[in-house]
Structure 1
Amino acid sequence: MSDIGLPEWPQYDERERAGLIRALEQGQWWRMGGGEVDAFEREFAEHEGARHALAVTNGTHALELALQVLGVGEGDEVVVPAFTFISSSQAAQRLGAVAVPVDVDPETYCIDVAAAERAVGPRTRAIMPVHMAGQIADMDGLAKLSADSGVPLVQDAAHAQGARWNGRRVGEFGSVAAYSFQNGKLMTAGEGGAVTFPDRESYEEAFLRHSCGRPREDRGYRHRTSGSNFRLNEFSAAVLRAQLSRVDEQADTRERRAPLLARLLAEIPGVVPQGRDPRADRVPHYMAMFRVPGLAGERRDALVDDLVSRGVPAFVVFRAIYRTDAFWETGAPDATVDELAARCPNADALSADGVWLHHRTLLAAEEQIHRVAEIVAAAVADATARQGTAK
């Protein structure tokens, strides 16, 4: 594998080291006795414009907890984009609900509002927009849909720390939002997650449920509600506080580099970069995504392998959720794979020919961005030539 000198990820410095020592030396490593998780929750809520934040074990648990607080359970339906990481649907399915996939916008790759509206029915308990690659979904249209239907939104903001839509942060839309701090995310402690809430009541219920239904000061094991152990530990919170201190600076760098990379990729024959809604006035760019419509399936996979061998941190994009075995294990709609694919042509095509580059690419210097584009151009040309020979 070639090394073209791109920045490493995760990134850390003395801030993380100091935080870990601080957590170690406080003598309490559990959130109920220490101070790091509490401090991180306050700082993260402020950063995202939310009234309250609850730190949890990971982004999947964040989604599951958010849905549970909204009362999602057996027999309910949750509308999710067909193009997303499987946790979006599994969070609903693990609660006994049915995940209903809908198509995505062909430019932004976020949930299509009209498709979501068509999917809302009498059993719909939540609509889950995913802010794909940090590009916030159409929150204007979704807010109207939520108000008209009475169905609440649960924002999957795993990719969207620091994102803004018409000047509003994720926590300022009056809906619950779930975040991930897994190793590849924009800020990370290896694993971790958070849920933000617009009101105290929801936050307090979530706190109970994330701690086995046990109140904060309980000494008699008086578990008030069902729940599980989704508590974050003090060491992870200390690292996340340090990560949060640089997340805006990194987002600013990616915002400066992203237009250059998108322009260079768009100049490559056969390459179509992810679009951007002009109302998204700050995109933190979890991924640099593009499509190669002429190269799908195994040919796309071979292209990604070639890019990796040339030193570009490339990945295939998420598989449409209905094209995974996991989706059909429980809580699947009464439809076939082919029927769902016909309803979701954009998601189906994107999952077959999409490519994403790790966001550390966009932390590189401009000359490295040009080098990445040159490598993509060469790899796509070679892949296209091989396809032509195969015919």
Structure 2
Amino acid sequence: MSSAPAQPALAFPAWPHAGAEEREGLLRALDQEGWWRNGGSEVDCFEREFAALHGAPHAVATTNGTHALELALSVLGVGPGDEVVVPAFTFIASSLAVQRLGAVPVPADVHPDTYCIDVEATAQLITPRTKAVMPVHMAGQVADLDALADLAGATGVAVLQDAAHAHAARWQGRRMGEFGSMAAFSFQNGKLMTAGEGGALLLPDGESHRQAYLRHGCGRPPGDRVYAHLTQGSNYRMNEFSAAVLRAQLTRVEAQIAVREQRSRQLAAALARIPGVVPQGRDERCDVKSHYMAMMRLPGVTAERRTALVDALNGHGIPAFVGFPPVYRTTGYWQGPYSGGAEEIGKRCPVAEEIGGDCVWLHHRVLLADAATVDRLAEVLAEAVARI
């Protein structure tokens, strides 16, 4: 008897998404007198528009999200001998940015439901050397900014939001630029807004904006013609073409997030019915979750089975990936300043240890598909989980 024909691969909207707006923006930038931020207007306009979307007084556009974090840490005065508490479960850029300034990233455990930094665990790690706490809004789920504000008020430690996944997200109705802290964003190719690469930093006041502007352009003030390098810094400037593309992306990000919100709740409900699958939870105080990823755990899965599942999903056209390892379980982490050993850190971060070994995530473009495709995705995932 012949076998049943293979099912066709699922089709999801392409990412990045580009339309006439991006093409018009690129031509607009091309026709300017200059293609860098000091010779054109696209970066200036994008900074104002991005800040306005997030309720921030100011923004500085950067070359990428990692540089936005480095720039923010520099503005906070972080340097050698200082410590910055970071989530143990995050993309390694969060800890690398700290190490690039010669400071020590101190990994804290994360919440088992939201995968965001555990504020109680963080409080136990504050020392006289702690300069900042860097919550990551994992997959667009905003970290507990209320508890972090209380911690900052009690200790004097700054909060720096790693908002690389949290474009247009809200916490109890407040946007990411309305908390009096800096927030760093990424526009890398897979992000919710993209120009291939890029980043931005929201600033809460005029002085932090002045410092960020100086430091992102080799210490030079606006309009400088005499090489007046007023402070340390680097070249983190965004170019005009990237800004033009991002201005177009900005016009549709909120509508796309609204679609992702509907599909995410649909998908999470379906995943929760699959034996052995636990979708990322949600703190409902995050009243706009931007859904950078659809994340889930498979408790007890082996590394081989997890890889086999991801391979099977990709074979069906589903963009699936294994989760991040804890930052201290990477080789690169130990090539910068650090404190303690991997096993010591692992003992205080049991949740990150588990999630780093059993998490799988799907790219956010699956949440831009129609409802029927999302239902079929859940069916395929259930079948794949049952086979591994």
TM-score normalised to the size of structure 2?
Answer: 0.97
What is the distance in 2 between the residues matched to 1:318 and 1:133?
12
The alignment covers a number of residue pairs equal to: 382
Q: Which of 329, 346, 351 does residue 356 from structure 2 map onto?
A: 351
Determine the C-alpha separation between the residues in 2 that align with 1:32 and 1:296.
52
2:224 alignment partner in structure 1: 218
- Note if contact 1:2-1:309 (Cα within 8 Å) is conserved in structure 2: no
Task: Name the CA distance, whole Å, in 1 between partners of 2:302 and 2:149.
Answer: 35
3-state SS of 1:184 partner: coil
Which of 146, 149, 154 is 1:143 aligned to?
Answer: 149
* Structure 2 residue aligned with 1:243: 249
Partner of 2:159: 153
Q: Are residue 321 (structure 1) and residue 327 (structure 2) matched?
A: yes
Measured after TM superposition, the shift of residue 255 of structure 1 is: 0.5
Task: Provide the rounded CA distance (Å) in 2 between the counterparts of 1:294 and 1:28.
Answer: 56
Could you give the per-residue CA deviations for residues 31-56 of structure 1, whole angstroms, max 9, x where no partner exists? Answer: 00100000000000000110100000
Q: What is residue 332 of structure 1 aligned with on the other side?
A: 338
Partner of 2:50: 44
Distance 2:209 2:30 in 1: 28
> Which whole-Å CA distance do the structure 1 matches of 2:110 and 2:303 have between them?
19
Please say if residues 16 and 238 of structure 1, whose CA atoms lie closer than 8 Å, have aligned partners that are also in contact.
yes
Letter matched to residue 360 of structure 1: R
Q: Say whether the 8 Å CA contact 1:29–1:234 is kept in structure 2.
A: yes
- The CA deviation at 1:27 is 2.3
Map Cα deviations across residues 235-279 of structure 1 (whole Å, 9 max, x no partner). 000000000000000000000111110000000000000000010
Contact 2:29 2:244 in 1 (8 A): yes
Unmatched 5+ stretches in structure 1? 384-391
Cα distance in 2 for residues equivalent to 1:48 and 1:216? 24
Give the match's secondary structure for 1:119: coil
Q: Distance in 2 between matches of 1:281 and 1:246?
A: 19
Which residue matches 1:388? none
CA offset digits 1:167-226 (Å, max 9, x no partner) = 001100100010000000000000000000110101111111100011121111121111
- The partner residue of 1:255 within 228, 241, 261 is 261
Choose which of 257, 268, 272 in structure 2 pairs with 1:266. 272
CA distance in 2, matches of 1:21, 1:264: 44
Classify the secondary structure of the residue corresponding to 1:99: strand
How many Å apart are 1:339 and its aligned residue? 1.2
1:301 and 2:313 correspond: no
Kindly provide the amino acid, as one letter, of the partner of residue 211 in structure 2: E
Aligned partner of 2:4 in structure 1 is none
Q: Secondary structure at the match of 2:158?
A: coil
* C-alpha distance in structure 2 between counterparts of 1:339 and 1:379, whole Å: 36
1:2 Cα shift? Answer: 5.3
Describe the SS at the equivalent of 1:373.
helix
1:53 aligned onto 2:59? yes
Whole-Å Cα distance in 1 between the matches of residues 302 and 362 of structure 2?
Answer: 17
Correspondence 1:310 to 2:313: no
* Secondary structure in 1 matching 2:242: helix
What is residue 19 of structure 2 aligned with on the other side? 13
Measured after TM superposition, the shift of residue 230 of structure 1 is 0.3
In the TM superposition, residue 336 of structure 1 has moved relative to its aligned partner by 1.6
Matches within 5 A, 1:13-92: 13-92=19-98
In 2, Cα distance between equivalents of 1:215 and 1:174: 24
Alpha-carbon distance in structure 2 between the residues aligned to 1:360 and 1:2: 18
In structure 1, the residue matched to 2:214 is 208
Alpha-carbon distance in 1 for matches of 2:286, 2:222 = 39
Q: Quick one: distance in 1 between partners of 2:184 and 2:103? A: 18
The residue matched to 1:101 in structure 2 has which SS? strand
Q: Is the 8 A contact 1:183 1:190 kept in 2?
A: yes
Is 2:358 the partner of 1:369? no
Helix, strand or coil at the partner of 2:252:
helix
User: Match of 1:55, as an amino acid?
Assistant: A
Gaps of 5+ in 2: 1-6
Distance 2:68 2:224 in 1: 23
Give the aligned partner of residue 121 of structure 1.
Answer: 127
For the Cα contact (< 8 Å) 2:185–2:199, is it kept in 1? yes
Does structure 1 conserve the Cα–Cα contact (< 8 Å) formed by 2:9 and 2:315?
no
CA contact (8 A) 1:320 1:348 kept: yes
Cα deviation per residue 1:103-138 (whole Å; 9 max; x = unaligned)? 000000000000110011110000000000000000
Quick one: distance in 2 between partners of 1:344 and 1:146? 22
- Tell me how far apart the structure 1 counterparts of residues 76 and 303 of structure 2 sit (CA, whole Å): 38
Q: Secondary structure at the match of 2:295?
A: strand
Is structure 2 residue 137 aligned with structure 1 residue 131?
A: yes
Q: Secondary structure at the match of 1:158?
A: coil
Q: Equivalent of 1:199, from 183, 200, 205?
A: 205
The CA distance in 2 between the partners of 1:219 and 1:342, in whole Å, is 54
The alpha-carbon deviation at position 294 of structure 1 amounts to: 2.8
2:132–2:158 CA contact under 8 A, matched in 1 = yes
CA root-mean-square deviation: 0.9
Shift of 1:306: 1.2
Q: Deviations over 1:294-335 (max 9, x none)?
A: 3132221121111111211100111100000111111111x2
